[in-house]
Chains A and B, each alone.
Chain A
């Protein structure tokens, strides 16, 4: 059939349609041959059409797979396909406490400001906790952006985190900028909805006002070793405790951290770290009442240095945590503050023991730690225990030592070793929904002021499937 070509076929077609000379046997043979060819070509074209249709069908079936990992990308318009990943965390609790939540204090420690939502119970009874709205997406091949809004039950919105992060600086370097949870410690970087207990450890409450948020830059470097070794450096403004928002040029708060970790066999893994935070608060004040019943403002100015160590151990049989797993977590912090302490009449009338203004030196070394273990004993169910212990130490207060004030005039500084025992049991119907019962025996308020606290808490996540850190 080497004679066949398109032009040949065309010529044959003309011949075939030629009405005359039908009797010619050669012509008859030629016609038969053309008819055969026509039939054979029709069959081949039909077969090709079928294969094409099949290929089109399977290609359209495969489209969602090749459209990338954005959920529902294929179903949405091209423009909205670039919408960031959105997730929403809904939290609420019913709390019961023996003592008035509003008077809760960590005896011996400077109050860290307004008690945060993630601290001890603030209200009795049923209440909403903070809701978190998280938006994140890759900005371009080099950057990722992330926003975490905290919607408080008192109808205020706080920007909890808003940062960009580099994706590919190379050499193990990652730069983060904006407002973010500092990389110090272990639990600090984790959001409350991933915590194993309903409230923050006492050590975090005492030293960081439940968590340290850095507003600035973070540079991390991951060593090219088989053991995980990460070093980090942060510089930022001291907008929150233990800083005092000095509105200073350059960096007002510095933090460093180093951490390492690895596996032990296939079932165990661990992580350990060291960190340090330094800042120089100026007039970091809190309200108190002296022995005459007068309201004063006591403020600290000077150096604040906190160092910490953290350790985490996770175990799961064969490294498969879905059935059973165990997590041990411990952190310790120690803070040295030295500088000046001032005391003024809050009303500005020069009344009370402090009068118009008294000032003297202040030196304190305070420490604290917590250890907690959480065991998932069957799918969905976990039980845990946490032990909190702080030591306020004896602060050397110049005003008291030189007799300008009595120790009782500065009641918050009376030494105490707060202690708390917490047990919890929680049920997760899926990785997106968790219900928790928690009981704490809290001896933070001072001698003889033990408080029993009960929590019934829910944590629900909707939207994009967030990936969690170790």
Chain B
């Protein structure tokens, strides 16, 4: 028993990590934090681009990593509601509880789309605060990045200047990227598109694409064959240019729709790591645009 207590005391007294320990719920915020924080922070995402961010298990490894985190960066808007609250509570870590500076929600800094007028699960997997897939609009990273840099500076005042400089440099690069992408995609404005899940509403909003059909009858509810046939009939006249889905979504509905309508199916990386080209944030949008332009 005495030995155990000694070990406990030794573990409790472990020195804090020198670099700020940042844990993000999804890969895009890890990439953004890395751009801003550079070598001043140690950052990791608890999920990969191939996982459905709505359905993550509160795995032991997540709780262990949350235990030592100085900052949790989440999307918010209830995207992580099925697992993050358990991870926070089980972590025994006071710093990352909701309301503490160590808990950052990106959606707070973004103008939300598709805020439901009523909350009823008969409408499927609806989110009270609006569509949580904010990461598909590149403009979001400027606003979130600015707030995140301020938060990093608040948590680690010694490196405040580095975070500000990191964000400023990122913003300069990102604005140049935005200008380039918007020029590339100018011809896409107003084009009709079919989506599988409402994963890309922010991307469509940015590019000015017109969503003419959603394959899912309701958010999070898989399409039946009968429903897909109805959707196909409805949009035949509008001739969608693409049917798009995220890499983590089931291929079934999109493939069926593509095969039966002749509309090219485009699988977008959705976030960092979604495919080989999407190695970083800029890569995600380079690849997304390349795929849309190539499949015209």
Are the chains A and B members of one assembly?
Answer: yes
Given the interface pairs A170-B93, A174-B92, A465-B78, the reply to whether A379 lies near B222 with Cβ below 8 Å is yes
Q: Convert A42-64 into 0s and 1s, putting 1 for each residue whose CB lies closer than 8 angstroms to a CB of B.
A: 00000000000000001001101
A65 contacts which of B54, B68, B129 (Cβ < 8 Å)? B129
B190 adjacent to chain A (CB < 8 Å): no
Task: Give every chain A residue within 8 A of B125 (Cβ-Cβ).
Answer: 430
Which stretch (A258-266, A276-284, A340-348, A366-374) binds chain B?
A258-266
Contacting pair B90 A323 (CB below 8 A): no
Q: Could you tell me which residues of chain B, from 97 to 121, have a CB within 8 Å of some CB in chain A?
A: 97-100, 105, 107-108, 110-112, 115, 119, 121
Interface with B: A32-40, A112-120, A220-228, A446-454, which one? Answer: A220-228
Q: Does A194 contact B (CB under 8 A)?
A: no
B84 touches A467 (CB 8 A): yes
Number of residue pairs spanning A and B whose beta carbons lie under 8 angstroms apart = 168
Residue of A nearest to B77 (CB): A65
A168-B97, A323-B250, A379-B250 known; A65+B108 contact, CB < 8 A: yes
Query: Which of A66-74, A101-109, A123-131 lies at the interface?
Result: A66-74
Complexed CA–CA distance, A24 and B86 (Å): 83
Q: Which of A75, A165, A228, A319 is B63 in contact with, Cβ under 8 Å? A: A228
The reply to whether B100 and A58 form a contact with Cβ atoms under 8 Å apart is no
Residues of A within 8 A of B107 (CB): 65
| Centre residue among A73, A144, A223 by max chain B CB count within 10 A | A223
Minimum CB distance partner of A62 in chain B: B111
Task: Point out the residues of chain B lying under 8 angstroms from A469, CB to CB.
Answer: 58, 86, 90
Are A69 and B78 in contact, with the CB atoms below 8 A? yes
Residue from the list B12, B93, B129, B248 in contact with A320, Cβ < 8 A: B248
Q: With contacts A262-B60, A467-B58 known, is A319 near B50, CB below 8 A?
A: yes
- A30 interface residue per 8 A CB criterion: no
Q: Are B94 and A170 in contact (CB under 8 A)?
A: yes
Check if B111 sits within 8 Å of A225, measured CB to CB: no
Question: With the chains together, A316 CA to B57 CA distance in Å?
Answer: 10
Residues of A within 8 A of B59 (CB): 261, 263, 269, 314, 470
CB of B83 within 8 A of CB of A467, answer yes
Q: Is the CB of B92 within 8 A of A271?
A: no
Question: In the complex, A312 Cα to B82 Cα: how many Å?
Answer: 20
- Is B82's CB under 8 angstroms from A467's CB? yes
B47 within 8 A of A: yes
- Contact between A172 and B93, CB atoms less than 8 A apart: yes
Q: How far is the CA of A248 from the CA of B107 in the complex (A)?
A: 52
Sample 23 A-B pairs with CB under 8 A, ordered by A number: A62-B112, A65-B111, A65-B115, A65-B129, A69-B76, A71-B119, A71-B128, A167-B94, A168-B94, A169-B92, A171-B12, A172-B92, A224-B12, A224-B67, A225-B11, A260-B60, A263-B59, A430-B124, A431-B82, A465-B78, A467-B82, A469-B58, A469-B90
